[in-house]
Structure 1
Amino acid sequence: MRFSKIVGIVAITVMASACSWFGSEKETPDIPEEQLYSEAIQALEQDEYSNAVKKLELLEARYPFGRYSEQAQLELIYAYHKNYEPAAASAAADRFIRLHPSHENIDYAYYLKGLTAFEQDRTFLERYLPIDITQRDPGAALNSFESFSILLNRYPDSQYAPDARKRMIFLKNRLAQHEINVARFYMKRGAFVAAANRGRYVVENLKETPSVPEALIVMYQSYTELGMNRLAAKSKEVLATNYPDIPVKTYRQEHKTLLETATFGLLGSEEEVIEVEDVHTLPSANERPWYHRATFGIFE
């Protein structure tokens, strides 16, 4: 029995030391905090963002309470942003704001969070092709607008406030145009209540955007189709008073001809424009001929 125990102990000892004999995973040598931070900053300056992320993550893991920990967390947000990791950048910004609400550079964290969301849905093609980004989901734009808004409200004298303010104007215009696009979608399908609500949202909440005239047109047309004459007259009055030179386009311009569909909108597009007074004379969506509905609007 004693012999078997000795054999067992020897076997365990041999197995435990086998890793050192045949080679095991090498541990990363300890790097002083100051050196690790310096290397991370150097990587950022040389646009080596992936390397900077690795070093900053290692710094935060090994020296969570070191002298460079707070600054490393802030630099990590920027590194994530430049390395095209928007989710990680946003999470790092939220973490920094939660852990250091009174930090002297917390305005920078809000700015980076807004900037990351601002550029999140800008794909490679959208940077070089005339793609209408207002047709896309506005989730990232809303997040960016919120972050910039907090920055301006809490830190109006921040050095990042002027740029944030300019970006908010762009985002506000984009969000307003998105609402108009959705309203047009509803108009084409005869959902006039939903269309009117979208138009009213733009008029009430996005007043200083170029989409306000289109929103008033949508409201006038929708209320007219719904038989809500008082609201239609009010929308018409506001439109005529503030934008007297803008013609009203009927939503029926959205229905494309066969030639326009075949040529992707290059040929056969005849946009119909009508005066405000003539909107109520248009037939409703339910009065269109049967072949128009059967062909989904291809044949007028």
Structure 2
Amino acid sequence: MLSKQLGRHIVLSTALCFMAVGCSSQPDEEQQVAKTQIESLYEQARESMAAGNFNLAQEQLSNLNRRFPFGPYAHQVQLDLIYLHYKLDNTEEALAAIDRFISLNPNHKDIDYAMYMRGLVNQRAEHNGIHAMFGVDRSDRDSSMAEEAFKDFAELVRKYPDSEYAADAKKRLVAIKSRLAKKELAVAQYYMDRQAYLAAANRGRYILEHFSDTPEVENALAMMVESYDQLDLPELREDALKVLRANFPGNQLVSN
């Protein structure tokens, strides 16, 4: 009797053991299937990107991000989506995705890339393709996005000076500086045209103080010379003229 009970106990234990093994292996198999599925879906999206089909790639990666928000490619999918938003001129979506990525992954190895992309997105949003296409100079247009891009690139260079994106960020900072200086110069010219010479001179001085390494400084100094002349302020006129002469000896005001 005891041997039969012992036999049943052994059989039952063995069955339970196999059940336990089966249960423990099932999640592993499901995880492997999910991983293979994710890899396949991600590869499809990458192929769409490589082919230049950005709309399809965005749709594929968005679906992958929704279905597997914590999958093995989660961070890379999010970074790829940022790039696609940028390519498709989806400014708001790109900035939201970038800010979310930086907020949730402050120590990620590609955080410098996210910061760089933020600068690119803001810079592209500021740029007006129609004006550029037809050569129309609209330096007086809103510069808020250019200012944001400048902050983004400056922060990248400051925090990650050794980043592979730092060199390009520095070049873009120079270009954006010139863009912002042109905006101030356009405002100064606006005041000059309306004979508001004091306001024009102040704008010129602002350019001199904040954008001293841009080509716009020459015109800013010239406006200061003319404005102080109109205001009958000979000392200030002479000071501005000296700086103009020292830095731009070929300027028409200097030769006169």
Return the alpha-carbon distance in structure 1 between the equivalents of residues 48 and 250 of structure 2: 56
Return the alpha-carbon distance in structure 2 between the equivalents of residues 209 and 133 of structure 1: 18
- Give the deviation of 1:224 after TM superposition: 3.0
Report 1:23-172 matches (<5 A): 32-172=37-177
Tell me which of 233, 237, 242 is aligned to 2:242: 237
Normalising by structure 2, report the TM-score. Answer: 0.79
**What letter matches 1:78 in structure 2?**
Y
Query: Deviation per CA, 1:231-277, whole angstroms, max 9, x where unpaired?
Result: 2222122112222220139xxxxxxxxxxxxxxxxxxxxxxxx94xx
Tell me which of 197, 201, 207 is aligned to 1:196: 201
Q: Could you list the runs of 5+ residues in structure 2 that have no partner in the other structure?
A: 1-33
Seq. identity, %: 39
- Give the deviation of 1:84 after TM superposition: 1.7
**What letter matches 2:106 in structure 1?**
P
Return the alpha-carbon distance in structure 1 between the equivalents of residues 48 and 253 of structure 2: 56
Instruction: Look up the match of 2:211.
Output: 206
**What letter matches 1:38 in structure 2?**
E
Return the alpha-carbon distance in structure 1 between the equivalents of residues 79 and 88 of structure 2: 15
- Give the deviation of 1:152 after TM superposition: 1.1
Query: Deviation per CA, 1:64-87, whole angstroms, max 9, x where unpaired?
Result: 222221111111100101112122
Return the alpha-carbon distance in structure 2 between the equivalents of residues 244 and 123 of structure 1: 35
Cα–Cα, structure 1 residues 61 and 51, in superposed 2: closer, same or farther, change >3 Å?
Answer: same
- Give the deviation of 1:124 after TM superposition: 4.2
**What letter matches 1:57 in structure 2?**
S
Deviates more, 1:206-215 or 1:65-74: 65-74
Q: How many residues align?
A: 222
* 1:247 is aligned to 2:252: yes
**What letter matches 1:192 in structure 2?**
Y
**What letter matches 2:219 in structure 1?**
E
Deviates more, 1:103-112 or 1:240-249: 240-249
- Give the deviation of 1:127 after TM superposition: 4.6
- Give the deviation of 1:202 after TM superposition: 1.0
Q: CA RMSD in A?
A: 2.2
What is the DSSP-based 3-state SS (H/G/I as helix, E as strand, rest coil) of the residue aligned with 2:142? coil
- Give the deviation of 1:121 after TM superposition: 3.7
Deviates more, 1:145-154 or 1:235-244: 235-244
Normalising by structure 1, report the TM-score. Answer: 0.68
Instruction: Look up the match of 2:186.
Output: 181
Return the alpha-carbon distance in structure 1 between the equivalents of residues 94 and 138 of structure 2: 22
Return the alpha-carbon distance in structure 1 between the equivalents of residues 207 and 131 of structure 2: 25
Return the alpha-carbon distance in structure 2 between the equivalents of residues 238 and 60 of structure 1: 58
Bigger fraction of residues in helix: 2
Return the alpha-carbon distance in structure 2 between the equivalents of residues 175 and 123 of structure 1: 15
Query: Deviation per CA, 1:149-183, whole angstroms, max 9, x where unpaired?
Result: 11111111111122222222211112112211110
Tell me which of 220, 226, 249 is aligned to 1:221: 226
